[in-house]
A and B are shown apart, each in its own frame.
Chain A
């Protein structure tokens, strides 16, 4: 697979119908020979293999110069020397088989009905702009913009570094729509469907989901540079904090919540909560049909996450301690959450959740040590891959180490190795953004990568545990099956033994009978002899007695 570098479109992806998968650039296939026999039967000097191949290759290449546009015959025939009737036949053949004008609208003869599943013929390359980090990572867990209808890109873009004030400064209900990502007023038109959480995104940033991650990180932070442009009915951090506390305490009861947040009324509270990145989750928590148990669990989760976010917010501006805090939070969460591991599962992986949340969730499931190990491995791998990353992580490294000492990282060696493998693999696939201008941006990028790697690692570890367990269960089942079979056989053997025993006994009896019979016979003969009855021929002398030697 060709490595694709940043910004290099490289080899493009073309689709042709599955029924045309016989096509090869350097060959002429039987299908072609059959459809255009005049080229191959030597009937004319102007038609031969080479000529056909040149026509075909030229036409297809011409089409692929702009695959979104319909190629007309008139365009190509001016560039090819030869009878236009024959050229037209070739053109129609290629069009019919979908090698050109496939999927292009136009009122022309439709491709044959056997259009199977689309086949990607060329090597997959960077048909998509590869942007930092995780374009190639399994998108199941990552916050790829699920809501974006115009997504031409697969990867997610890191936002321009947006500080708290940019994002939250204008977050007042009264003002016009503010793009949640770039902080500008949405002059260029709003995204039609506001993303989850009620954010409004301007068209420019419409693919950007990752902004939420930044937000959750900086959400409750008490920032030194306050928000200069707060409107009168905007939410201060203190109010937000109160709101969240109230929500956790009172759940669905908006009156009580409003009471708690004295300065805001009910509707405002509801609105604000919805706007918060995980507000939705909290709301859904309380109306969860699994009942108190689950919600309790998830409330614990939320609280833990809350706690963690709280911790995260104590972070310095550059979000340098993201890694650090994952580990802390993970440790804190592990005890209360661990026993209810099974129940955690329903709460997993709403793919549009923010990154940090997902990492948190995954870490809880996988266990603290594993997650810590994963994080470590991720950081190490990143450092190995890219020396700039080291600079970033060195800041956090010391502190992290200090804190890490408190939980010994007894890595289950297997899972650790596995995690590392996963990370290494993943990193091979990701491209490190070399070109990013700002150092802070770099830092965030790396940390995000590390976070993602941690998530992956944690997930991998958990998956391995599950796999191991399944293995064990399978083995157990096998063993029990074998045991059952053995017992069956043993019963049969016993049964046969008994039968044999009975047989032997009977045999002895029969022998005895035989002897007694013999005796009686002798007796009878003696008696007849003594009674002077003339001897008679022993016709009836039983043969069996004769044969029986003893």
Chain B
């Protein structure tokens, strides 16, 4: 019966998703000729790469997208897979860390916002099961919501996992000055880890204060079709604007960096 001091890291293990099943989240957002395809799902990295192509083909066929999408989809998936693979051989130092996971999604007509704690060191967690329970408890009828939540959870877990990989750590340290945001996130998760002592030690209590309950409660909204349409339109607008802005910035940088 080994008892670990608080915050100690376990023996490093090879990089993987800190969940029961090593499935990685894939997010697709492709726009060609005014047609947009957005999707998010989990992928098993152990599948052969040929699967990617066949998946892309199938998707295009099922959703009746123009065939140009196929290559784009396949490419996107492969890029993300490659990123995952780049971490794969390295060691992961998972400390006992309980991080807050935030959900803020709109899936068809359902908007869901939620926040909860997740133990990154617990390798037996199952985001799909959690999402399923959540949807059942909240009587969400749309069957697409559950998987969307699961993917969102996985994405955040993936983030945490990559941060704990040794090489990433080193690079992070180097870039500390530039990436202010990352610091903030780092300290946020650091906060949770610190809380462990207070909460789970002898003097604390794991019962949350009542006034804070609302923060950790899921909020579900069902939108009407008009609202959905409006939101979609707005999102598209934003995306386009952002793209334009990015392009401008890049060109600006290049202009002045070369100048």
Give Cα A344 to B125, complex, Å. Answer: 73
| Contact present for A85 and B124 (CB under 8 Å) | yes
Give Cα A119 to B121, complex, Å. Answer: 39
Q: A65 on the interface (CB 8 Å rule)?
A: no
| Contact present for B137 and A85 (CB under 8 Å) | no
Given contacts A77-B116, A85-B125, A88-B129, contact A54 B4 (CB under 8 A): no
Give Cα A83 to B19, complex, Å. Answer: 13
- Identify B137's interface contact among A41, A45, A48, A75, CB under 8 A: A75
Q: B208 on the interface (CB 8 Å rule)?
A: yes
Give Cα A86 to B124, complex, Å. Answer: 9
Q: Which residues of B contact A84 (CB under 8 A)?
A: 116-118, 125, 130
- Identify B202's interface contact among A50, A54, A78, A86, CB under 8 A: A50
| Contact present for B6 and A45 (CB under 8 Å) | yes
Given contacts A43-B2, A44-B96, A83-B98, contact A54 B205 (CB under 8 A): yes
| Contact present for A81 and B1 (CB under 8 Å) | no
One of B26-34, B77-85, B212-220 contacting the partner: B212-220
Q: A79 on the interface (CB 8 Å rule)?
A: yes
Please, which residue of chain B has its CB at the minimum distance from the CB of A45? B6
Q: B196 on the interface (CB 8 Å rule)?
A: yes
Q: Which residues of A contact B216 (CB under 8 A)?
A: 77-79
Given contacts A43-B2, A46-B96, contact A81 B133 (CB under 8 A): no
In the assembled complex, the CB of A91 is this many whole angstroms from the nearest CB of chain B, namely 9
Please, which residue of chain B has its CB at the minimum distance from the CB of A85? B125
Q: A393 on the interface (CB 8 Å rule)?
A: no
- Identify A46's interface contact among B98, B129, B134, B137, CB under 8 A: B98
Q: B181 on the interface (CB 8 Å rule)?
A: no
| Contact present for A54 and B133 (CB under 8 Å) | no
Q: Which residues of A contact B133 (CB under 8 A)?
A: 73-74, 88
Give Cα A464 to B39, complex, Å. Answer: 84
Q: A82 on the interface (CB 8 Å rule)?
A: yes
User: Please, what's the 1-or-0 string for B69-102, where 1 marks a CB less than 8 Å from any CB in chain A?
Assistant: 0000000000000000000000000001010000
Q: Which residues of B contact A78 (CB under 8 A)?
A: 116, 208, 213-214, 216-218
Give Cα A472 to B214, complex, Å. Answer: 75
Q: Which residues of B contact A72 (CB under 8 A)?
A: 136-137
| Contact present for B202 and A83 (CB under 8 Å) | no
Q: A42 on the interface (CB 8 Å rule)?
A: yes
Q: Which residues of A contact B121 (CB under 8 A)?
A: 44
Q: B237 on the interface (CB 8 Å rule)?
A: no
Looking at B7, B117, B118, B217, the one whose CB has the most chain A CB atoms below 10 A away is B117
User: Please, what's the 1-or-0 string for A68-106, where 1 marks a CB less than 8 Å from any CB in chain B?
Assistant: 000011110111111111101000000000000000000
Q: Which residues of B contact A45 (CB under 8 A)?
A: 4-7, 96, 196-197, 200-201
User: Please, what's the 1-or-0 string for B102-124, where 1 marks a CB less than 8 Å from any CB in chain A?
Assistant: 00000000000000111101101
Q: Which residues of A contact B195 (CB under 8 A)?
A: 81
Given contacts A46-B96, A46-B98, contact A74 B207 (CB under 8 A): no
User: Please, what's the 1-or-0 string for B187-207, where 1 marks a CB less than 8 Å from any CB in chain A?
Assistant: 000000001110111100111
In the assembled complex, the CB of A495 is this many whole angstroms from the nearest CB of chain B, namely 81
Please, which residue of chain A has its CB at the minimum distance from the CB of B126? A85
13 A-B residue contacts at CB 8 Å? A44-B122, A45-B5, A47-B200, A50-B200, A54-B206, A77-B116, A78-B214, A78-B217, A79-B213, A82-B119, A85-B122, A85-B126, A88-B133
The interface of chain B, by Cβ under 8 A from chain A, is 1-7, 96, 98, 116-119, 121-122, 124-126, 129-130, 133-134, 136-138, 195-197, 199-202, 205-208, 210, 213-214, 216-218
Given A42-B1, A51-B200, A79-B210, 17 more A-B residue pairs with CB atoms under 8 Å apart are A43-B2, A43-B4, A44-B4, A44-B119, A45-B6, A45-B96, A46-B98, A50-B202, A54-B206, A72-B136, A74-B217, A79-B207, A82-B119, A83-B122, A83-B125, A84-B116, A85-B130
The interface of chain A, by Cβ under 8 A from chain B, is 41-48, 50-51, 54-55, 58, 72-75, 77-86, 88
| 9 smallest beta-carbon distances between A and B, as pairs | A83-B119, A85-B125, A42-B3, A72-B137, A74-B137, A78-B216, A45-B6, A78-B217, A46-B200
